Amino acid sequence: MLSGKKILLCVSGGIAVFKAAALTSKLVQTGADVRVIMTNSAMEFVNPLTFQALSRNDVYFDTFDEKNSKVIAHIDLADWADLIVIAPASANTISKLANGIADNMLTSTLLAATAQVWVAPAMNVHMYKHPAIQTNINTLHQFGYRFIEPSEGYLACGYVGKGRLEEPEKIVELMNQYFEEQEVGSPLKDVHIIVTAGPTREKVDPVRFFTNHSSGKMGYAIADVASKLGANVTLITGPTVIPAPNDVTTIQIETAQEMYEQVIKHFEQADVVIKSAAVADYRPVQTYNQKLKKQNSDMQIEMERTVDILNELGKLKSTQLLVGFAAETNNLEEYAKKKIITKNLDLIVANNVTSEGAGFDKDTNIVTIIDKAFNKVELPKMSKYDVAKILLEKVQLLLEERGRL
């Protein structure tokens, strides 16, 4: 998929610059046309001649060094690229881009770019977690930039944690997937999909609530992939720290009751409902407007059932395709099949949340997808984004079988 594609690789400063050299080599081997921009800091780690030899193209690092007098270099590069990748993306470069600063060749080019931009951060774990950097990352998300999350491991500074630049092989794989999606087009065009995601919070008093460990990553991945496949997506989400996907209508809720009301409100117009949210099964019978003070004795809080949203949708559905999730700790397949019957589901995605690499707040998942006839597909550990792609392929096939596409 990368053969003939025009890739603009933007390299900012950091020890991970050597990985950018490896990435350049791998991209050229796929047949991609690679041009490289370097910051002054990046050149302190690797000489531009290295990237020139690997890419077989001139390397750009000076905004005022116009190699072709017929064009303005930073504008020409911005217009030329099919995809722009910043790898490694330093804290400094991320912060400049988020604030519209154009003080070098890299940032000037990015400010003029209209192509899809990917950002692959690499920095110390504490730098990555700093509120300023996380705010700037969220800003770039809102601009439409896509992030290649750094991996965890031993860092050059001696720390162990999140901050390692993703491996070149993985970045190339993601690029292949991206251009493959571009080739596929919009198979779910005009399909209205509701996705629920994240946890709910059930209030006790102004400072306490009951919730669960759901991060919303799976639901957000489904919403993102569905949107890229052309679907009209409504994401109904509990509290998360994840930026909303682009081109998705996002509705923020807090309680199970609020999620139920929003799903019901949009259900009639939906073609597909994918309910991946971890909704509270119980809520306190009584809530308090002032903070409950600590007592010398034990406390008991009486709980009542919340509405079973998936069960209600199963009763209401007419032509809608209904997809549920089963997060279990034991008897996975038994419970999943029971849910298909009792809740009138068309598909269920089951996973054991105690398995390593699966479950809440992980970037990966290990799931089994089961249909109404109890046919099942067991998937190995993979990214939640890839799980979303396979799930939506199943949804597409069911819609085609029913003549809805």
Among left, alpha and beta (phi > 0; psi -120 to 50; other), residue 11 is beta
Q: d(Cα 158, Cα 15) in Å, to the nearest integer?
A: 12
DSSP3 helix / strand / coil % (the chain, rounded to 5): 35, 25, 40
Q: Kindly tell me the burial class for residue 100, based on how many C-beta atoms sit within 10 Å of its own C-beta (0-12, 13-18, 19 or more).
A: exposed
Q: Is the dihedral of CA 270, 276, 277, 279 positive or negative?
A: positive
- Within the chain, how many helices (H) and strands (E) appear? 14, 22
Q: d(Cα 67, Cα 331) in Å, to the nearest integer?
A: 65
147 is in an annotated binding site: no
3-class SS string, 172-199 = HHHHHHHHHHHHHCCCCCCCEEEEEECE
- What is the token pair recorded at 254? 């807090």
Going along 239-394, which residue ranges are E strands? 249-252, 272-275, 282-284, 303-305, 321-328, 347-352, 364-365, 368-371, 376-378, 382-383
Q: d(Cα 113, Cα 129) in Å, to the nearest integer?
A: 27
281 is in an annotated binding site: yes
291 is in an annotated binding site: yes
Is the CB of residue 314 less than 8 Å from the CB of residue 290?
Answer: no
Closest CA to 194 of 279, 264, 258: 264
325 is in an annotated binding site: yes
Q: d(Cα 150, Cα 166) in Å, to the nearest integer?
A: 5
DSSP category for residue 240? -
381 is in an annotated binding site: no
Residue 401, SS3?
Answer: helix
DSSP 307-336: P-HHHHHHHH-SS-EEEEEEEESS-HHHHH
Q: What Cα–Cα distance (Å) separates residue 337 from each residue in 53, 310, 340, 347, 399?
A: 57, 14, 5, 10, 21
Residues involved in catalysis = 157
- What is the token pair recorded at 376? 């099942």
Residues comprising the binding site? 281, 291, 325, 339, 343
Residues comprising the binding site for CTP? 281, 291, 325, 339, 343
